[in-house]
């Protein structure tokens, strides 16, 4: 892909189909994770802007041009958005890469996934028309009933920085498909492409207020959305700590939430694998793609003892081939961490692991050849025990910790030895064993002989401290629908529960 010359657009908040300056006129600098320089700025919304956006969303729902649309009509908007994303793919990919530091190659992948997701939910929006009203046969003469699937209302979508436009799309696309009016609050660490989604919505003529985009800080722009009485639901992806705050605030209003939080996912490798290199490559990809800043990263390698030394030797050879560079450089496979705060946090995890007695088998530091930017070498940590922080806590960086096992039972116990429950992977050629692990793994996502491939059609979400609810697939759409039952008495006979006065 030729790297286009792009300018970072200077945008305002996207409210009611227009660009609007934040009431308090505050802005937040955009800091390049690759150079540490300020490369632009984004508007910073506050409570006042949230109020204006919620009103705009409510008006959109009350207006025929959004509130009375069929799924087929909404599908046209979603397809038009997908087409614009693809038209601007190389530019958007570069903006994403500049903003969050992911490699240009991965950013381009994200843009394909974004477009595919809008197209997928366009199909589901169309299909919704025939399911909008579903009769339920009670086999009774005196009652006729049906169930309606309606848009849930005004929804608040709070998203992270690791896949900025993709994580926003996983929520925006189904919310619009369902007919909701949405307010998106992307992460202050990477909002550029989400603001461009606003421009795309404007260009395709999405009715004003159907999607509003408020950039800004979590406590200033996210929290008021959660506690706003006219926001009917919050869908969140991000850290466990913020998830707890959101659930607590939403509970005061009995507001439904879905939470996609972090993980510390295992990848279990058995000695019967046919192809060692294949397993090694998936292990690397499972932990180092997107510089390890993936909620489902398989960051605990659980390795059968009989192949441990051979496997680790191969891992070290493969790691040498990972090109660490400016993420826009061709063939870059590991870019910087998103921000100085996250960078410091990752390095602290590594030094704590050392302090606790673990061995840094490779990496563990800033790569010597990168003088600027928040780069961390791909890191493998061994001699880990299950009480160490590095075994228990999500690092969100390119850090793999390793433990070995002898028996299948031991492997299952280690895999499930975590408060999280997002994903698990198993590498083995024994299909029956893989089936046993499917049952035993306490996670919402299971990968056999791979790690991380993610498809729009399949449910995405976790258990335990990884949260609840599912993005993607038909489950993603259900998040934004209100189920309403309608029961009609069709008989002319009296109900006859009370004694009728006419008969006294």
Ligand X SMILES: NC(=O)C1=CN([C@@H]2O[C@H](COP(=O)(O)OP(=O)(O)OC[C@H]3O[C@@H](n4cnc5c(N)ncnc54)[C@H](O)[C@@H]3O)[C@@H](O)[C@H]2O)C=CC1
What amino acid positions are annotated as catalytic residues?
260
Q: Taking CB under 6 A as the rule, does residue 260 contact ligand X?
A: yes
Residues in contact with ligand BAL, total (CB under 6 A)? 8
Residue 351: enclosing H or E segment and its boundaries?
helix 340-355
Q: Given the rule CB under 6 A, which of 78-86, 136-144, 243-251, 289-297 is the region that contacts ligand BAL? A: 289-297
Q: To the nearest 10°, the Cα dihedral for 381, 384, 387, 388?
A: -30
DSSP letters along 322-334, please?
--BS-TTSTT--B
Our CB check for ligand X shows the closer of 59 and 245 to be: 245
How does 172-196 read in b/e, with b if 16+ C-beta sit within 10 Å? bbbbbbbbbbbbbbbbbbbbbbbbb
**115 with 90: CB under 8 angstroms?**
no
Q: Shortest distance, CB of residue 215 to Na ion, whole angstroms? A: 11
Q: Given the rule CB under 6 A, which of 62-70, 160-168, 356-364, 426-434 is the region that contacts ligand BAL? A: 160-168
Q: Taking CB under 6 A as the rule, does residue 343 contact ligand BAL?
A: no
Q: Taking CB under 6 A as the rule, does residue 162 contact ligand BAL?
A: yes
Residue nearest to ligand X (CB): 218
Q: Given the rule CB under 6 A, which of 3-11, 279-287, 290-298, 431-439 is the region that contacts ligand BAL? A: 290-298
- Chain centroid to CA 238: 8
Query: Contacting Na ion (CB under 5 A), which of 107, 178, 190, 332?
Result: 190
> Could you give the CA distance from residue 310 to residue 301 in angstroms, rounded to a whole number?
14
Bridge partner residues of 260 (DSSP)? 237, 467
Query: Which class for 246: exposed (0-12), middle (13-18), buried (19 or more C-beta within 10 A)?
Result: buried
Say which entry of Na ion, ligand X, ligand BAL, none residue 308 contacts (CB below 5 to 8 A, set by partner kind): none
- Residue ranges in 93-152 that form contacts with Na ion under rule CB under 5 A: 99
Q: Taking CB under 6 A as the rule, does residue 167 contact ligand BAL?
A: yes
Q: Taking CB under 6 A as the rule, does residue 163 contact ligand BAL?
A: yes
Residues in contact with Na ion, total (CB under 5 A)? 2
Query: Which class for 147: exposed (0-12), middle (13-18), buried (19 or more C-beta within 10 A)?
Result: middle
Q: Which x/- pattern over 64-103 shows residues binding Na ion (rule: CB under 5 A)?
A: -----------------------------------x----
- Residue ranges in 453-482 that form contacts with ligand BAL under rule CB under 6 A: 454
The 3 state secondary structure assigned to 216-243 is: CCHHHHHHHHHCCCCCCEEEEECCHHHH
> Could you give the CA distance from residue 496 to residue 504 in angstroms, rounded to a whole number?
13
Say which entry of Na ion, ligand X, ligand BAL, none residue 472 contacts (CB below 5 to 8 A, set by partner kind): none
| Beta strand spans in 315-368 (E) | 359-362
Say which entry of ligand BAL, ligand X, Na ion, none residue 219 contacts (CB below 5 to 8 A, set by partner kind): ligand X
**303 with 269: CB under 8 angstroms?**
yes
Say which entry of ligand X, Na ion, ligand BAL, none residue 480 contacts (CB below 5 to 8 A, set by partner kind): none
Q: Taking CB under 6 A as the rule, does residue 361 contact ligand BAL?
A: no
Q: Given the rule CB under 6 A, which of 176-184, 215-223, 352-360, 457-465 is the region that contacts ligand X? A: 215-223
Query: Contacting ligand X (CB under 6 A), which of 188, 196, 326, 471?
Result: 188
**472 with 453: CB under 8 angstroms?**
no
Say which entry of ligand BAL, ligand X, Na ion, none residue 185 contacts (CB below 5 to 8 A, set by partner kind): ligand X
**259 with 224: CB under 8 angstroms?**
no
Q: Shortest distance, CB of residue 299 to ligand BAL, whole angstroms? A: 12
User: Three-class SS of residue 157?
Assistant: strand
Q: Shortest distance, CB of residue 452 to Na ion, whole angstroms? A: 23
- Chain centroid to CA 33: 21
Q: For binding to ligand X (CB under 6 A), which residues are involved? A: 158-162, 185-189, 218-219, 222-223, 226, 237-239, 242, 245-246, 260-262, 295, 342, 345, 394, 396
Q: For binding to ligand BAL (CB under 6 A), which residues are involved? A: 162-163, 167, 237, 294-296, 454
């Amino acid at each position: 892909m030729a790297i286009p010359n792009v300018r970072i657009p200077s945008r305002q908040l996207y409210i009611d189909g227009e660009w609007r300056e934040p009431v308090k006129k505050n802005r937040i600098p955009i800091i390049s994770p690759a150079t540490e320089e300020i490369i632009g700025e984004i508007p910073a919304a506050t409570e006042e802007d949230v109020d204006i956006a919620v009103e705009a969303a409510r008006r959109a729902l009350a207006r025929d041009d959004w509130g009375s649309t069929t799924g087929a009509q909404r599908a046209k908007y979603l397809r038009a958005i997908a087409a614009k994303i693809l038209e601007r793919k190389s530019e958007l990919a570069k903006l994403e890469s500049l903003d969050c530091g992911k490699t240009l190659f991965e950013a381009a992948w994200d843009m394909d996934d974004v477009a595919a997701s809008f197209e997928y939910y366009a199909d589901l929006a169309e299909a919704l028309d025939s399911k909008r009203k579903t009769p339920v046969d009670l086999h009774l003469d005196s009652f006729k009933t049906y169930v309606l699937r309606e848009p849930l209302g005004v929804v608040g979508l709070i998203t992270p920085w690791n896949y900025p436009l993709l994580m926003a799309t996983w929520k925006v696309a189904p919310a619009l498909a369902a007919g909701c009016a949405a307010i998106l609050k992307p992460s202050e660490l990477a909002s550029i492409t989400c603001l461009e989604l606003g421009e795309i919505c404007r260009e395709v003529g999405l009715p004003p207020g159907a999607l509003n985009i408020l950039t800004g800080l979590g406590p200033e722009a996210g929290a008021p959305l959660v506690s706003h009485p006219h926001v009917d639901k919050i869908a969140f992806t991000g850290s466990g700590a913020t998830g707890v705050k959101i659930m607590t605030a939403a509970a005061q209003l009995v507001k439904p939430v879905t939470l996609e939080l972090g993980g510390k996912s295992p990848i279990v490798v058995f000695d019967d694998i046919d192809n060692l290199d294949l397993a090694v490559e998936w292990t690397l990809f499972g932990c180092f793609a997107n510089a390890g800043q993936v909620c489902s990263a398989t960051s605990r390698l659980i390795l059968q003892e009989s192949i441990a030394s051979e496997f680790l030797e191969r891992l070290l050879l493969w790691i040498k081939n990972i090109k660490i560079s400016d993420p826009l450089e061709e063939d870059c496979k590991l870019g910087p961490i998103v921000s100085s705060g996250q960078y410091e946090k990752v390095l602290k995890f590594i030094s704590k692991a050392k302090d606790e007695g673990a061995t840094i088998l490779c990496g563990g530091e800033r790569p010597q050849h990168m003088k600027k930017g928040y780069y961390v070498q791909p890191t493998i940590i061994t001699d880990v025990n299950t009480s160490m922080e590095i075994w228990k806590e999500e690092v969100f960086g390119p850090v793999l910790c390793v433990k070995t096992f002898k028996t299948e039972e031991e492997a299952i116990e280690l895999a499930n030895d975590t408060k999280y429950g997002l994903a698990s992977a198993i590498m083995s050629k024994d299909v029956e064993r893989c089936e046993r692990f499917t049952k035993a793994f306490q996670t919402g996502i299971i990968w056999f002989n791979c790690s991380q491939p993610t498809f729009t059609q399949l449910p995405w979400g976790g258990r335990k401290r990884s949260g609840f609810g599912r993005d993607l697939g038909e489950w993603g759409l259900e998040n934004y629908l209100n189920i309403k039952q309608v029961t009609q008495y069709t008989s002319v006979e009296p109900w006859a529960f009370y004694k009728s006065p006419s008969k006294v």
